[in-house]
Amino acid sequence: MLASKLLFPLSCGPTKVARHFLLWGSKRRASFAADQKLDIKGIYPPISTPFNIKEEVDYVKLEANLEKYSSVPFRGFVVQGSNGEYAYLTREERIEVVRRVRQNVPKTKLLMAGSGCESTQATIEMTISMANAGVDAVLVVTPCYYRGRMTSAALIHHYTKVADSSPVPVVLYSVPGNTGLDLPVDAIVALSHHPNIVGLKDSGGDVTRIGLIIHKTRNQDFQVLSGSAGFLMAGYSVGAVGGVCALANILGNQVCELERLALAGQWEAAKELQYRLIEPNNAVTRKFGIPGLKQAMEWFGYHGGHCRPPLLPLTEGEVKDLHKDFTANGWL
């Protein structure tokens, strides 16, 4: 397909830059498709975005966190995922955060960035911008504002257009806890045939569903990442290849150790470690969310920083409850 046929009409007309990247992307995909799809196995922290008291992105603290993470055996990093508060950042901030991370992370580390927007057009534009900022792949969350019309057909059309236009490989992202929408299994299976769609991050926590997706896509060189440390071992047991885990922002070495144990088939030791990660993981995801994640990061020597409103910091009682979830499992 010609690059010109891949373009959607932009609000001010397609720019020369967009045309250039779409053409470059089609050439890159043609070369990439001839080889094996990008291997995304491993553990990734969906890194947080620290803000200062003025609610500005604190790039100095972001870079300090990345320096500390350099000693953890992560496969790479996810930038502008849900834990990065991407929904509260401007377009310019989203791109600049990715650019700064790329500058501070070695090329040996895989960098994935969230490029999902509500419209297909906006997602394509953001995807091209993320590619230009140096990412190795993009993570595209399901559009959900009009979730009642987000049928399998609509979602297949959306992701196909994005993948057709993307200069880098695409990873599907299903996070029903935030979107209220599960990416349907039949849509995932259909999209797994696309040469530029390499995998899925599933944050729903339904291991039966994850196993079914892996079973139905295993002939497509399609990889699935568990979207939480709370069911990481279970994900490995049914064929997931890694995880994008909020808790890895805090207990990165421990999450990577769980990966090692599972891959080595040391299931008893993996089970014991998994047990100790469930409550802390739940505390920084479902229970207290990003404010809890940022508070816990401070206890472990990272820079959580402020949240951007309307997110509020934890109350004194919530801080005590959060602390208990870590101390009861031997982490503090």
pLDDT in tens, 26-48: 444 434 443 568 999 999 999 99
Q: What is the pTM of this model?
A: 0.89
Instruction: Return the pLDDT at 33.
Output: 44
Domain boundaries, the chain: 3-266
Query: Of the listed 16, 201, 271, 287, which one is catalytic?
Result: 201
User: Lowest-confidence range among 29-33, 138-142, 205-209, 312-316?
Assistant: 29-33
d(CA 76, CA 253): 13
pLDDT value, residue 35: 53
| Token duo for residue 140 | 């595209």
Question: For this structure, is 201 an active site residue?
Answer: yes
**Residue 180: left (phi > 0), alpha (psi -120 to 50), or beta?**
left
> What integer is the mean pLDDT of 306-317?
97
- Is residue 15 predicted with pLDDT exceeding 60? no
The pLDDT of residue 37: 86
* pLDDT single digits (tens) 213-261: 999 999 999 999 999 999 999 999 999 999 999 999 999 999 999 999 9
State the Cα–Cα distance between residues 217 and 300, nearest whole angstrom.
39
Fold of 3-266: TIM Barrel (3.20.20)
